[in-house]
A and B are shown apart, each in its own frame.
Chain A
Amino acid sequence: MLFKTITKENFRNMIEGIMENNEVIGPKSRDRDTKGAKIYRFLKLNSFDELEMDYTRSYSSPKNYFLPFKEDLATYDLRDTGWEQEIRYTIHPRIIVGMRACDINALLKLDQVMLKSQYPNPYYSARRRNTVIIGLDHEPLEDCFCRSMNTDTAFHGFDLFMTDIGEKYFVAINSDTGYMILNRFDSCEVGEEDQLLYKEVRGRIESKFKTQVDITIVPELMDLEFESDVWKRWGDKCLSCGSCAMVCPTCYCYGIEEDIDLNFDKATKRRFLYSCNLLDFATVAGGHNFRPEAHIRLKYRYYHQFRGFVEAFNQSLCVGCNRCGKACLAGISPKAVIDDLIGTEKR
């Protein structure tokens, strides 16, 4: 991997330069919570000043820029004798600034399913290939447990990855595109002092993880505790509102709907992100529902995250960002549920 540094002023020039001809997405805030803390979202930036590089965590992950919540897969011209289908995979290139290591690792997990499986997803592929990712390090928050999930650092899956070392950013370069972007603006070679500063910052980050989730035996535990009353306990709190899956950087379950326009001469096939926590999700043709109980649905979401994905790809789907835990009004978080499961095992 190549490394360079860029001053904060030149970084500003770089983003403004990119912004002239490209869509740039980054963390920005609009609302504040009751304690006065800003609520961040990944949104299109209209100017560099909207970009908040000191953001803590975005309420929702930037997943939707790769897997949109709603996406037209095909449109149809309907005629008397048949139809013509139109499919477009093309998208405008775009840049996402400020993605965390956990979110980049989340994309790498999605890549396993969307790019490397037997039936790759061309829509995802178009977005993935046409999105430049500029990552950004941060000090872990109270409830970040990415370290436990081995997703606190990213070594690939991005173009540039930046660490704030004071006056400058220390930049890891991981693609030709990243290299060329950086070269168009004034960047510097890494000096001895930069390297020391970088190590110091990384050390500080690593020393600040507070939350740990012991997932060593969790895949097994999921089977051993399949009938555990832990699921019922948490399931009784669950609102079955799907918020967890919506804000999650890796939940990718979806539904397909077909929509016909009011003239009955055009139609659209649309994919929408769904959640296995929703009652509708397991309803099949004829109206039968395979998972009518909230606690069973909750269990299967955890099952997919911590057991099913491990079986398929030898890693958990969860990246430890705890966005689901934050978004859940009922206070259901992976840490709490897994600790409870482990506790049950020990009892």
Chain B
Amino acid sequence: MKYLGITLERPKIGVFGFTGCEGCQLQIANKEETLKNLFNSIEVVNFREISSDGCDDYDVAFVEGSITTESEVTRLQKIRNQAKILVAIGACACLGGVNNLKSRFPLSDVVKEVYGMHPVDTGPVRRLQDVVSVDIDLPGCPISKSEFEWLVRNLVLGIKPQFPQYPVCVECKQQLNSCVFDMGMMCLGPVTRGGCNAICPRNRFGCWGCRGHSEEANFESLMRILRERGFEDEHISERINFFNAFNGIL
């Protein structure tokens, strides 16, 4: 593989999953039209969704899911020690994600409700960065395949990826969408990191903040706007805490 006559190294990659739905891993494996080119630019050495063979000789680890058990901590630390670059993929790995709903209840109640007579050793939900150092967060629920490919291109070329700092509104307006606020819906687009092409508002579904907060999110202003528009704090709190992206604001 060459770029302008310069031979590029194909990074050896591993893809790993922790507590999550495995949807982000699936995103990597499921876009057939570009899969061939993707696998030409990287060497996949450990990814159980595409091969049962696996070795631990990887440079870049893409890690999905949040961390909830002690055995996961040990396994993640091992991956961290091996990988030169560790990428957290998806809302669970970057933010805690939907799993974080569990943190709203006493742990013993949760274990009893979910596992009944067969309790498991499970702790509070943690982001990858709460356990090990993370080099790159690739946000989204699930991650977008095209953004993953863009990240791969940057990694191969040795360019530091620049994710949008601006919020979802920019790309939403660029698609001439009607603002879902005007249609009476709640939307976290104004404080959520862009880069998703406003896929939810485009489909008339207010943003839930799966990509985490934008770089300089004006929560105070958003809260005022939401309350002025008659949204109850309970409703706002449910939305804001759904992905654990805006911890502590309500």
Binding site for B on A (CB under 8 A): 30-34, 39, 41-43, 59-60, 64, 69-70, 78-83, 236-243, 246-247, 259-264, 273, 275, 278-280, 283, 292, 294, 327, 329-330
Contact = CB atoms under 8 A, between A and B. Distances in A.
B179 A330 contact: no
B101 interface: no
B179 A241 contact: no
Contacts of A238: 218, 221
Contacts of A243: 169-170, 173, 179
Contact of B152 (A32, A242, A262): A262
A241 B182 contact: no
Contacts of A280: 164-166, 215
A263 B37 contact: yes
Contact of A264 (B8, B34, B178): B8
> What is the interface residue range for chain B against chain A?
35 or more
A59 B190 contact: no
Nearest to A78: B4
15 contacts: A31-B178, A31-B204, A34-B183, A41-B176, A59-B176, A59-B179, A60-B176, A79-B5, A246-B173, A247-B173, A262-B34, A262-B40, A262-B152, A264-B2, A273-B174
Given A246-B174, A283-B165, A329-B190, 8 more contacts: A33-B184, A43-B176, A78-B3, A240-B167, A241-B169, A241-B189, A246-B173, A264-B153
A240 B176 contact: no
Contacts of A327: 173, 179
B170 A241 contact: yes
B221 A330 contact: yes
Interface in B130-189: 149-150, 152-153, 156-157, 164-167, 169-170, 173-174, 176, 178-179, 181-184, 189
Interface of B: 1-5, 8, 34, 37-38, 40-41, 149-150, 152-153, 156-157, 164-167, 169-170, 173-174, 176, 178-179, 181-184, 189-191, 204, 214-216, 218, 220-222, 224-225
B184 A239 contact: no
A260 B2 CA distance: 12
Given A31-B204, A236-B221, A239-B218, A246 B153 contact: no
**Of A34, A64, A262, A283, which is in contact with the most chain B CB atoms at under 10 Å from its CB?**
A262
A240 B164 CA distance: 13
- Looking at A42, A78, A82, A241, the one whose CB has the most chain B CB atoms below 10 A away is A241
A239 B176 contact: no
B221 A262 contact: no
Contacts of B150: 259
A33 B229 CA distance: 13
B165 A39 contact: no
